[in-house]
Structure 1
């Protein structure tokens, strides 16, 4: 029996099961196919059994109507569009498998690098189909993901956690946040892909990094950094450095982008220098006359692309990126996003977590446990007998005050667990731990919504997006149709606004609010060793509460634009501003102007439409390095955008942050 199905999604902006958002379009219809796809030369030779099982896919997997102006393709003569059959998809998948040498069998447990390998095969499958049918970028983004891959050979390789599963209602959240949504079990979970607010801008519509509007290369991020994001050092009395510290630990609560690794060393690929380069290499060009790096003869800045991610049901479409941790505010920076990691951090006694009791003999509190396994990972150690710290998130040692906040939350967990044990002496270790974890996650959410966000967004934005906490009773606004996974625009750009606030030095203050001293920021990155000094934890935390942050503007301290993660034996480091922009291009994040439009703000048609959006001086600088208003990188434009009084960030970043944060609060 012939069946016709027309799928129309109109106007409501809700995400489809694949995580995309649709509005005001009628895209594709599915109907019986017209032809059988040609097979790969080795299709029968190597995959005969698979072919017998899947070769009957003659029906259309997706039919793209030629009359649809958004999906104009080369079509069959005399037809109204293009039919892509399930057999076409199978054939393309096998070709992609051969090209990339992918032979890994399906496993019950997938890790980041395994996901990356399969995701690249599916990415290549998308490229083969796009080339064969001359698909437009819109067709690649909107039509191909509508193919039901469960009816193709891809289903054999797709991990179970990316398929709908039967979830049980439980008292406590899974460590990986799976089944937080009982229907879409992978939403917000670890190893799920980042969402997109608007379609990506890849040079080829699939995976190649973003280019300028006219197709030419964008200016080097290092040139943008040197031109726009110089170190002026203005201060802003609106916030202290606690705003930066809490923003960072919150970011580490719901985003950790998968990183490409060298298969032999298991370390970051080396992309600058001679020799064979890793396929993920995407280094940043440094001009020969760079005012800083030229002193050291550097013309190349290390950078590797993020790993690719699998979508729901391993669907086709443009490249996406993986979030290795949960996308909800659940304090996984303390507990981890897997049971194995959580177990390594637990004492399994009285609901407590492990600590380092180095100061107990002095009557002082414990420190974080130390990292004995892979001690140099994310740590610059001065000697082999000095160790960095261990926590639920590997970035705990990224900077000293971040380590301090980790420590405070760990101590609070243990304090709360002891109090619960007194009140409920009949509870065992497991219940004490899980109930304390539940409470601590709620405390973390309350601080974020009640103290951090109002300063960041302003009262007006908080009310507009329904972020103001209830004064009494409970919140009943949970919507199971909302995907809480973090968005690419949020993690690559908007929530990196705090980089503009970073100080040149981090101060220590006494408990009586008196200045004691300071240390250069670059000397504290991946070097949290001052916490081993008795009393220094309190001094740094008091410094966070007293030290005024830098102004929220386009200026960034040279401590992170020239000296980021600087080895003590060298005089230069990395450029954080350049990395932010290169990461956005890597992820296909459209330019600042497109998010202005998405947020209901006027999209600039000419440079002069940006008058009042940026300062005049900044606008002139943008005109000198970018060819078109559409080319401005989202992070750069977002931190440079002028904000209204009482708001820390400008309207575009406010929109992106407010539209993402609400999805991260559901317990």
Structure 2
């Protein structure tokens, strides 16, 4: 009798060298099979070469690629990580609303057993990923007309029945030819270019600048108040939708960092004008953010020796820092020197953000419902508050009231929520938007994936080359109670489990804040954001960044940025290995 084949061991169960090799193997597999171009849905511009390659980032993300002027530009489409035939949305009556998204939110997402903290992280880590997401993707304002009607259970106390959820704004260009799924437009640049700070249009960017010395407007240590109608109380910055104190801290911090970079470059190039100083400082600042995300935020969130090493190699390569700084780069590979400075490569499709990437970064459980504001000097509790006084039009008032130093310290010492079921914040499940719309973001999160044609969990998992799960108990890693809840909500149909729900339910690798399934998308897209961008590859060189700019990037960490602009935080950061991990108390 032939013995049954042994199941393939997951990468995180392998010895260190084999695990590192397996992650690399997965990345190459995903690069070959999980980059799908939505060009051809109809209405799009023909692809055309860039007339010139500017030595700086453009305002709208165009002109990065010599053969495709519009690649990555704001206003171009999201592509897909799943094959296009898998990305048709389900019929509205039969599939889109089944099971009812509101019931999924109530019964599987609600924080009904209390707050579950992610104890290895601090709240800055939660604010950071939202800060980065806003520079990578936005579907724009949702459609007001023809809202989706979400059915409610008889005992649901939502004030409007049915619940009305605005549809995603359709791609304004696509007429979706026969056999093509719907497409959607990214209203911000697809590149890792700091557009959340600088904006995705020239008009917006210039409105944020002083016009002197390349600098952004910062008045008395603060970003200016937003001047657009109805938005006073929110900072004027590149992207300020869904704004709150966590974003204000980081937007202000990196506006100050931009201005500090301007001072450094101007000291070495005193004849440069405002425009050249601005664009060079933007290059450096965007690279600082990308580096922090790669070698600090990510290792904090997926904290295993092998993933820490993999992210370090992504940016630096395997050479020790002292040797790397002395040697001139040689060869075309990434292993020795890292991706920055290597040749540009898009692999199987032109570069863009993807709908599945958006899905993998639905991380609302990170947000707390209750906040403790503490003194950065003594650690003493100043005040407890809910989320409402920290967000939207109340943001600037909150920053004025508590101040940057105490807020940074408080965010550094508070845990975010664990990314799991039954931990979606109540404050986001009944949220009043600036527009006046009232939403349950748990319901919206579930509905958006269905509406945009993201496959359900088992199909999504298979598309990413993960081994199948065949029972609810296998999905939950043996958690019988959770499996029973899922079985009841999804009427015993494992194939109907929503992707976000499945990723929250599956057991995580040790040290991971999010799921192994989401990690597969991350493995693909984290490297791609660098590898496709000529300003991180072929143009990552002193002639473009200046020698001083490259030195600034190489020698700057998140700790450096924090202490450069808030030296009073030094006692709290003493002995802290990673600024996205919980900080020590003041000494």
TM-score range, shorter chain: 0.7 to 0.9
Normalising by structure 1, we get a TM-score of 0.66
Choose from 602, 605, 629 the match for 2:467. Answer: 602
State the match for 2:483 in structure 1: 619
**1:528 Cα offset (Å):** 0.2
User: How far apart are residue 631 of structure 1 and its match?
Assistant: 0.9
Match of 1:304 in 2: 166
User: Would the aligned equivalents of 2:476 and 2:505 in 1 still touch at CA under 8 Å?
Assistant: no
What SS does structure 1 have at the residue aligned with 2:291?
Answer: helix
| Contact 2:456–2:497 (Cα < 8 Å) also in 1 | yes
Q: Which runs of 5+ in 2 are unaligned?
A: 1-27, 325-336, 536-587
CA separation of 1:462 and 1:289: change in aligned 2, threshold 3 A: same
Q: Does 1:327 align with 2:190?
A: yes
Query: Within 1, Cα distance between the matches of 2:222 and 2:193?
Result: 22
- The CA RMSD measured in Å over matched residues stands at 3.2
Output the CA distance in 1 between the equivalents of 2:223 and 2:401: 14
For 1:598 and 1:252, locate their aligned partners in 2 and report how far apart those are by CA, in whole Å: 26
- Structure 1 pair 451–559 and aligned structure 2 pair: CA distance change class (3 A): same
Q: Does 1:543 align with 2:410?
A: yes
Shift of residue 201 of structure 1?
7.3
Counterpart check, 1:221 vs 2:101: yes
Query: CA offset at residue 349 of structure 1?
Result: 0.8
Note the 1:314-463 alignment, pairs <5 A: 317-355=180-218, 357=219, 365-376=220-231, 387-395=233-241, 398-459=243-304, 460-461=306-307
Counterpart of 1:524 in structure 2 is 390
1:467 corresponds to which residue? Answer: 314
Shift of the alpha carbon at 1:657?
2.1
Distance 2:207 2:91 in 1: 38
Q: Higher relative contact order at CA 8 Å, sep ≥6: structure 1 or structure 2? A: 2
Q: Secondary structure at the match of 2:385?
A: strand
Q: Is the 8 A contact 2:134 2:196 kept in 1?
A: yes
Please tell me whether the aligned partners of residues 462 and 658 of structure 1 are also in contact (alpha carbons under 8 angstroms): no
**2:62 match:** 178
Q: Which has the larger radius of gyration?
A: 1
Task: Return the alpha-carbon distance in structure 1 between the equivalents of residues 353 and 471 of structure 2.
Answer: 32
Q: How many angstroms does 1:314 deviate by?
A: 8.0
Deviation (angstroms), 1:170: 1.7
Distance 1:467 1:630 in 2: 35
Query: Does 1:247 find its partner at 2:129?
Result: yes
User: Aligned pair count?
Assistant: 477
Local SS of the residue matching 1:426: coil
Distance, in Å, in 2 between the alignment partners of 1:387 and 1:315 is: 44
Cα distance change on mapping 1:429 and 1:373 into 2, 3 Å: same
Instruction: Could you tell me which runs of 5 or more consecutive residues in structure 1 were left unpaired when the two chains were aligned.
Output: 1-10, 22-140, 262-268, 270-277, 358-364, 377-385
1 CA distance for matches of 2:451 and 2:469? 24
Query: Following TM superposition, by how much is the alpha carbon of 1:444 offset from its aligned partner in structure 2, in angstroms?
Result: 0.7
1:483 aligns with 2:350: yes
Distance in 1, matches of 2:50 and 2:175, equals 15
The CA deviation at 1:178 is: 1.2
1:591-641 per-position Cα deviation (integer Å, ceiling 9, x unaligned):
1111221233222344344251x6322211110011311111111211222
SS at match of 1:173: coil
How far apart in 2 are the matches of 1:567 and 1:352? 29
What residue is the counterpart of 1:555 in the other structure?
A: 422
Q: CA offset at residue 318 of structure 1? A: 1.2
